[in-house]
Chains A and B, each alone.
Chain A
Amino acid sequence: MKRALFALCGLMASGVVLADGLQDIKDRGALRCATLTDSVPLGYQDPATREIVGLDVDLCKALAQQLGVKVELQGVAVSARIPTLISGRADVVAAALGYTKARAEQIEFSSAYYQVPIKVLVKGDSNIKTFDDFTDKRISAIKSSTPELYARQQITQAKVVGFEDAPSAFLALQQGKVQGMAMTEPAAIRFHVRSENMHFLDQALHYEPNCIGIKKGELALTAAVDKALADMEASGELQALWDKWYGEGSEFKLAREKKLTPLTDFQ
């Protein structure tokens, strides 16, 4: 038992010291890139073709092209994102990874390739106009998401209730179990346009920087990903990705307010 434990520790330690993810990718000739499979428009199944498509899927493909290798797409569930990286099942994870300082102790983050505002949706007939009006009220959010975190930190006078997924959080708002729903604007827009008499508060809780996740200690790979992203921003490719999935042509119709932002801006 003790020996096995030592071997395990050794394995984990050596994994960090010896591995060079970038070299492995080049040797393999393929970038293993994990995306969500149930999140519009990041990664979801196209009903017509049955293929996983989305902003993150396109990003994976473009990233592999920049690195000069083929792409191997993988699906990943939200709570499996970090284990997927740590165990080395995927080289990079592009799956709505919002940067926070605490999270950055576990994995490397790339520059933020897109940022979306986190908003609070309320019922039209409610008298809630600002965050201050939430005293002793309740706010729903998706459990363990950053909107939940920021709502808890910034609207301290309210009770934040986390639900399993977006539809449950929205149903709670509809039924009056909560008085507001904190969510990234694109995720909430889909509910907003499908229901009457709901509106967003003007105030944004936060701008969520979304980054590519890389295993802790893979500095060469992180630098390569950052360089690829910078080149894609310079060539207009990142803007085109946004326009395709979030822009005027999509159901979200969101303007891209923030360009590629290095992590140092958030620290």
Chain B
Amino acid sequence: MSIFNGFASLLQGDYLHAFLGGMALTLELFVISAVLAFLLACVLMAIRLVPGRATDVLVSAYVEYHRNVPSLVQLFVWYFGVPQLLPASTQNLINDNGGEVIFAIIALTLNAAAYVSEDLRSGFRSLPSGQTEASRALGLGYVQTLRKVLIPQAIWASAPSLVNQTLGLFKTTALAMAIGTAELMYITRQIEGETYMTFQTFAVASLFYLLGSWAIMLCGSLLQQRNQSRMAR
């Protein structure tokens, strides 16, 4: 018996079907949380830029919680903790409509947003302060200055670390299996339990994560190249 045996039986019929389903859900978790996290991070950063101590404390408390408490615990809090505060009828409604996926997306989004907002903020701080003064002098309002001048530049300045966070989020989706979300790692463990083909099942999952990560890195560097050539013009 060799380790290479068994791949054929894993990659057909019911097992293949299950693997594809897991991959689809992993991608769904990843794409939805990545988009939502990015939008939320922009809002968080904008709030933090508003002068005033209260908003600063609020956002930094949010960031500290999500960076310092293990992601797994955050998932448990959302899945087992928060619903307890809701009325029973709402709980039932959520349970009947795929609570595992909904709470996984919420937890992943909030977690990733904390990291991304910090990256955006450091990108922001790398901008010379003359930018703000110049755009205000040109007659742009506060929000316009942010939206048209500062945030676009901050995003590009923090692009390398944003790619890192995106990679991190892609792999963190695997934690969602702990609350019964049937994403790729969940399916992998399930098929492993059924067949005991430990090496082969984990190899299939690893390959998928590897290819996915490469695709993310490729997208990141292509975007950055395009931006650089646009800036050079």
Contacts and interface: CB of A to CB of B under 8 A. Distances in A.
Contacts of A105: 6, 195-196
Contacts of A9: 2, 4
Interface string A163-203: 11000100110011100000000000000000000000000
Given A161-B100, A177-B99, A79 B198 contact: yes
Nearest to A136: B96
Nearest to B84: A175
A103 B190 contact: no
Contact of B178 (A82, A164, A175, A217): A164
A143 B178 CA distance: 9
A82 B198 contact: yes
Given A138-B95, A162-B180, A175-B80, A12 B193 contact: no
A13 B2 contact: yes
Nearest to A172: B180
Given A106-B196, A143-B190, A175 B83 contact: yes
A151 to B, nearest CB: 12
B130 to A, nearest CB: 53
Contacts of B182: 162
A206 B111 CA distance: 41
A86 B2 CA distance: 10
A12 B180 contact: no
A83 B193 contact: no
A144 B99 contact: no
B73 interface: no
B179 interface: yes
Contacts of A138: 95
A82 B196 CA distance: 7
Given A13-B2, A161-B100, A176-B91, A86 B194 contact: no
B191 to A, nearest CB: 8
Classify chain B's interface size. 20 to 34
Contacts of B189: 79, 143-144, 162
Nearest to B100: A161
A239 B83 CA distance: 46
Nearest to B189: A144
Interface string B185-210: 01001101111111100000000000
B114 interface: no
A216 B6 CA distance: 14
Interface residues of A, number: 34
A209 B50 CA distance: 65
Given A12-B2, A79-B189, A143-B186, A171 B80 contact: yes
B1 A16 contact: yes
B3 interface: yes
A79 B192 contact: yes
B177 interface: yes
A140 interface: yes
A106 B195 contact: yes
Contacts of A86: 3, 198-199
A90 B62 CA distance: 47
A217 B3 CA distance: 14
A167 to B, nearest CB: 10
A73 interface: no
A149 interface: yes
B92 interface: yes
Interface string A1-31: 0000000010011001000000000000000
Interface string A69-102: 0000000000100110010000000000000101
A65 to B, nearest CB: 28
A157 interface: no
Interface in A94-118: 100, 102-103, 105-107
A83 B198 contact: yes
Interface of A: 9, 12-13, 16, 79, 82-83, 86, 100, 102-103, 105-107, 138, 140, 143-146, 148-149, 161-164, 168, 171-172, 175-177, 216-217
20 contacts: A79-B189, A79-B198, A83-B198, A86-B198, A102-B194, A103-B196, A106-B196, A138-B95, A144-B189, A146-B193, A148-B193, A149-B194, A161-B100, A162-B186, A164-B178, A172-B80, A176-B91, A177-B99, A216-B1, A217-B1
Given A100-B194, A106-B1, A176-B92, 15 more contacts: A9-B2, A12-B1, A16-B1, A79-B189, A79-B192, A82-B198, A143-B177, A149-B194, A161-B180, A162-B180, A162-B182, A162-B190, A163-B178, A175-B91, A177-B83
